[in-house]
Amino acid sequence: MTIATSGRTAVVTGAASGIGAALARHAARQGMAVAACDRDAHGLVRLEADLDAAGIAHCLRVVDVTKADELASFAAECVELLPPTALLFVNAGVLRGGGVLYMPAADWRLLFDINVLGAIGTLQAFVPAMVAHGHGGQVVVTGSTGSMVVAPDLAAYCATKHALWPVTEALDAELQGTGVGVSLLMPGAVATPIFDAVDPDRAPPADSITPEAAAVIAFDGARARRAKILTHPGYVDRAARRFEASLADLRGE
């Protein structure tokens, strides 16, 4: 059963740029109210100008997803000011690079604080209200193709995105019967600034898609309640090879 979204609210974290900003703008084009947050106040100003021009009800706030009190305050405002939430996009995330033996502990902590604990904090702040209002909805947590494959010098990032796989599957099972489902969005190469902190001169991969294209895929998958939403289907074969090799290791083959 697909989710009705018109006239309801889409909540997006990490909404100042990249996929998050595209999700917020796409939600507005679908006739949804928009609740959006980020640490980047300037990016939110640009987004708010677009939402104002479109005449869309919205609530935009500067929020650090690692701060439970800020998330709770933002969630309470959304309940008070906007229609019931149909779609929650748990999208805030960062990337840092470095080898396992050489990446500073501070960078490991940053990645886990934002990508994992920030995601869990967002779920705890928003999902209970989605269940309580009884209208159903879908939660979409932004993982990565790094949720199922690994790469040298990206171990920490991939580890955080791997962690979101069991989190989303367990939460979906825990929410059975509530009308609220959970999806894991796994983007491949998307033309966003996420790699700027690691390699600002990095050329976009040849198979890159736009944030807007990623947002359309995410929305279609959310409405269809797909458990896994993949932007680059070619990764299925890569994941299959990795999983098959791991199963062979477990069997001692």
For the record, the structure tokens of 172 come out as: 């979906």
Number of helical (H) and strand (E) elements in the chain, helices listed first:
8, 7
How far, in whole angstroms, is CA 156 from its chain's centroid? 17
Domains, the chain, in order of start with CATH, read 9-251 (3.40.50.720)
Name the helix (H) or strand (E) containing 88: strand 85-90
**The pLDDT of residue 47:** 97
pLDDT band at 206 (very low <50, low <70, confident <90, very high): confident
Pairwise CA distance, residues 82 & 68, whole Å: 21
Of 61, 62, 115, 57, the C-alpha closest to 90 is: 115
Pairwise CA distance, residues 230 & 207, whole Å: 14
**The pLDDT of residue 84:** 97
- Is 172 exposed, middle or buried (CB count within 10 Å of its CB: 0-12, 13-18, 19+)? middle
Mean pLDDT, residues 208-229 taken together: 97
- Is 176 exposed, middle or buried (CB count within 10 Å of its CB: 0-12, 13-18, 19+)? exposed
Pairwise CA distance, residues 86 & 11, whole Å: 8
How far, in whole angstroms, is CA 250 from its chain's centroid? 31
Mean pLDDT, residues 200-225 taken together: 90
Instruction: State pTM to two decimals.
Output: 0.95
Mean pLDDT, residues 168-194 taken together: 94
Known catalytic membership, residue 102? no
User: Residue 14: which region, alpha, beta or left (left: phi > 0; alpha: psi -120 to 50)?
Assistant: left
- Please identify which of the residues 108, 157, 219, 235 carries the catalytic annotation: 157
How far, in whole angstroms, is CA 207 from its chain's centroid? 20
User: Residue 238: which region, alpha, beta or left (left: phi > 0; alpha: psi -120 to 50)?
Assistant: alpha
For the record, the structure tokens of 145 come out as: 């193709």
Read off the amino acid at residue 178: T
Beta bridge pairs of residue 85: 9
Q: What is the pLDDT of residues 49-76, one digit of tens each?
A: 999 999 999 999 999 999 999 999 999 9
Pairwise CA distance, residues 70 & 64, whole Å: 7
CA 28, 140, 7, 3 torsion-angle sign: positive
Pairwise CA distance, residues 75 & 73, whole Å: 5
Residue 195: pLDDT above 70? no
Worst-scoring range by mean pLDDT, 26-40, 126-140, 172-186, 195-209? 195-209
- Please calculate the CA angle 203-215-160 and round it to the nearest 5 degrees: 70
